[in-house]
Structure 1
Amino acid sequence: MFDSIAVATTDAFLEADVKLLAKNLELPFYSLKGQIKFVSDYEYLLLKTEEGISIAKTGKGAPKPVFVDFTSGAVDHRRRFGGGKGQDIAKAVGLNKASNLSVLDATAGLGRDAFVLACLGCTVSLCERVSFVRVMLQDGLYRGSFHHEVAEIVERMTLLDTDIRGIENQSFDVVYLDPMYPHMEKSSAAAKKEMAFFRDLVGQDVDADELLPFAMQLAEYRVVVKRPKGAPFLNNTEPTYQLEGKSGRFDVYVLKSLDLLP
């Protein structure tokens, strides 16, 4: 799946660390002698520098590398101006009924939705099974922990060392799923770039239907599935209700009323 990606650095003093990272991820190490635009052996590089760990597309005209960054850009703008508990994701999870929910984001990706929920007071556990994406998440959480406005939020986010199938003896108020789906949605240029990276490297979650039964077992009150418009129900299971948005929807599977929360 990842033949088109290698691990590299532009900083010579990080080379030993990057070689170890490549070994741990079971990805090739690429000795980057020149600029990324001149790399032809790999389509993407997992790039570790003093700034952090990013995914960088190679070749002429390649866009800027993508980081997991909770401190600036669209993520920071959403934290400050995103609409609080009036957002569809907040309503879907149930923050209009209860607060301080424990949420498992079982398909964390770049951690954007998990960060929104943590901003709104949830305690969020994150699963990400793609190894290099998980490393990017770890790096983003680490850097966020030093930011004066974000550190308290990041403290409510915990990256688990397993995927949803490996979670035992734990339960969560809500389990959140946003599996990769082969669709094109209206989004910003930056979001399109990031999704293009992921679709190239990760592809769709072909076993997405299998996630719902695991989510149902781990959730106390509800399971929330984010879907694009027109996508079928996950595992052909009709939800209790839906919240429709501009570019997608949230399918909500209610197991118990949040009014029963202690």
Structure 2
Amino acid sequence: MMISETLNCGAIVTTSQKGKGDLIPRAKGAAKLLRIPYVERKRLSLANLQANHKNKDILIFSQKGPQLFTGEGKAHEFHLSMAQLRLIAYDRGETDHLVEALGPEAISSFLDCTAGLGSDSLVVAYAKRSCKKMVALEGNPLLAYITNYGLRHFVHENDTVTAALRRIQVCAVRFETFLQRAKDDSFDVVYFDPMFEVPVTESPQFLSLRGHLVESGFTEAILREAKRVAKERVIVKERPFSSIFQTMEPDELLGGKYSRVAYGVYKVKG
């Protein structure tokens, strides 16, 4: 079950044009949970429906599952994204730099402060199978709803991947709020993948979402809170040349020689 503390998020809920069966009651249930209006589709195009409702984002219920339409590009739905390729590479014995940043030891708890599509949490859950407490935070409640749906319902041909998906719990809450309320040493690892200062333009999965996600800057105050909540380490994903790594120098900076991204490790103890 998705845990949500987010109230009205300035959006609407509807169904696909041929919505039938239980789609309407499911859409109404989501509208109630997210505290946003349910709107009958009435065969309107998404563009016209959006224009009629002040260009609000639209959560669409279809037979394929919930989708998010922002008005830019195609409607977003849950998919494994680059995680699929990373899992294949990991099984081949290739290095995944996020898994490397976690360290060789087993972990029992992991907090993903920027869940997004859930890709990084999935890689961690798959690689660290002893980790039973997997919490993923997403500040956009519509994206959180879709990601949570996928984690609960997507069935992979590899049962181990499906089991990894099911272990991840999504919370629709900003990480600033969650960290402030969390107790000391609540998680072995706390992880951040903030919006890059210099975007990687080759990331098509984010094209329709850019500008619609909760963009929180990573600051020294957030790092202090994260290190209070983490037992072992805080990991931040950014471009290797980012100002974050210049002003908050990590204990380790991991990534291939020609990698477009790097993982900064901030150790809490030792």
Query: TM tier, shorter chain?
Result: 0.7 to 0.9
For the residue of structure 2 that corresponds to 1:153, the secondary structure is helix
Q: For 2:74, which of 45, 55, 64 is the aligned residue?
A: 64
Alignment of 1:99-138 (within 5 A): 99-122=106-129, 123=131, 124-138=134-148
- Show the counterpart of 2:44: 34
- Show the counterpart of 2:249: 238
**Counterpart Cα distance in 1 of 2:198 and 2:9:** 21
Q: For 2:224, which of 204, 213, 220 is the aligned residue?
A: 213
- Show the counterpart of 1:260: none
Alignment of 1:191-202 (within 5 A): 191-192=203-204, 194-202=205-213
Q: For 2:89, which of 81, 90, 97 is the aligned residue?
A: 81
Displacement of 1:119 after TM fit?
1.1
Task: Tell me which amino acid in the other structure corresponds to 2:112.
Answer: D
**Counterpart Cα distance in 2 of 1:52 and 1:105:** 24
Q: For 2:236, which of 218, 225, 229 is the aligned residue?
A: 225
**Counterpart Cα distance in 1 of 2:34 and 2:106:** 37
2:260 is the counterpart of 1:254: no
Displacement of 1:87 after TM fit?
1.0
Task: Tell me which amino acid in the other structure corresponds to 2:101.
Answer: A
For the residue of structure 1 that corresponds to 2:12, the secondary structure is strand
2:37 is the counterpart of 1:22: no
2:185 is the counterpart of 1:175: no
Q: What is the aligned length?
A: 245
Task: Tell me which amino acid in the other structure corresponds to 1:116.
Answer: V
**Counterpart Cα distance in 2 of 1:227 and 1:35:** 38
CA offsets per residue over residues 115-144 of structure 1, 9 Å max, x none?
Answer: 011110252221223211221121011113
Aligned-residue sequence identity (percent) comes to 22
- Show the counterpart of 1:164: 179
**TM-score, length basis structure 2:** 0.77
**Counterpart Cα distance in 2 of 1:106 and 1:210:** 15
Displacement of 1:159 after TM fit?
2.5
2:166 is the counterpart of 1:155: yes
Displacement of 1:183 after TM fit?
2.7
216-225 vs 73-82, greater mean Cα deviation: 73-82
Task: Tell me which amino acid in the other structure corresponds to 2:12.
Answer: A
CA contact (8 A) 2:226 2:234 kept: yes
2:12 is the counterpart of 1:6: yes
CA offsets per residue over residues 80-136 of structure 1, 9 Å max, x none?
Answer: 234657111111121xx2134522112111111000111102522212232112211
CA contact (8 A) 2:192 2:236 kept: yes
CA offsets per residue over residues 171-195 of structure 1, 9 Å max, x none?
Answer: 22211111224432142xxx32x32
Which consecutive residues of structure 1, in runs of 5 or more, have no partner in the other structure? 258-262
- Describe the shift of the 1:216–1:52 C-alpha distance in structure 2 as closer, same or farther (beyond 3 A): same
Q: For 2:105, which of 94, 98, 107 is the aligned residue?
A: 98
**Counterpart Cα distance in 1 of 2:219 and 2:37:** 28
